[in-house]
């Protein structure tokens, strides 16, 4: 009997936590940047709120951080994508999107990629700029 009550309580708390964590997209809360890779090469991406390449090696998570050539992906601001970009950008005012050639990222030590800034492109965008773009970024290799 006690186990049933405890399990029911734990399940209820877990359900409540998950339900309150789900944030819907709105005009003031964007969970994704819609990114189109219009090149013939795969790219890795990193979204940060500071102007530097992350220490985390992106090639360790190709399922989350790699955009195939000639495709469009929704880039969450975290692995879960449950938070709004607007809340993260409050501190710095900018959202940085770094793009890396997949072949370079996969064949070069990540420390070298970071130290030599071996990114293809860096976007530094405000929330207003992202709103103007309708939260869409198209990369054509330029």
> Using an 8 Å Cβ cutoff, are 89 and 124 in contact?
no
> Using an 8 Å Cβ cutoff, are 43 and 66 in contact?
yes
Mean pLDDT split into 10-residue runs, the chain, 142 residues: 62 50 72 96 93 90 89 81 78 90 96 97 96 97 88
- The pTM of the whole model exceeds 0.95: no
């Amino acid at each position: 009997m006690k186990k049933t009550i405890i399990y029911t309580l734990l399940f209820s708390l877990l359900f409540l936590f998950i339900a309150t964590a789900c944030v819907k997209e709105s005009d003031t809360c964007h969970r994704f940047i819609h990114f189109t890779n219009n090149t013939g090469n795969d790219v890795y991406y990193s979204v940060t709120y500071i102007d530097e390449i992350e220490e985390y090696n992106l090639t360790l998570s190709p399922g989350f951080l790699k955009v195939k050539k000639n495709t469009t992906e929704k880039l969450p601001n975290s692995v879960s994508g449950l938070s709004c970009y607007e809340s993260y950008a409050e501190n710095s005012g900018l959202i940085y999107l770094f793009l890396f050639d997949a072949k370079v990222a996969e064949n070069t030590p990540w420390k070298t990629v970071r130290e030599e800034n071996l990114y293809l492109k860096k976007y530094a965008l405000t929330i207003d700029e992202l709103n103007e773009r309708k939260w869409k970024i198209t990369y054509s290799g330029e």
